Amino acid sequence: MATIAIQYEYNATKLAELAEHRPAHRAFLKELFEAGTLLASGPLGSNGALIVVVADDPTAGLAILDADPLAPHGIIETRIARVWNPVIGPWQ
């Protein structure tokens, strides 16, 4: 298993919809956290988010987030996944 950092960028024309669906999005992420799949998540700047998960590789990390309630509404414009190798901190 690897630590995968996934960056979301939101569609700037759908920020009102983002606010509307944020509670379901956060509930989904909380379930992943409680299952031990999600390590951390939170806003990244004013138009994105960073989500850190445990998965086999970046493709598997993205697959975990395919069920995000924001996805069917076109709110997530781009998703970039990379292996992250923390050297200092709780996930080293």
pLDDT along the chain (92 residues), means of 10: 97 94 98 98 94 98 98 96 94 76
- C-beta neighbour count of 4 within 10 angstroms: 24
**Alpha helices (H) along the chain:** 15-34, 58-64
Residue type for position 21: H
Q: Which pTM was predicted? A: 0.94
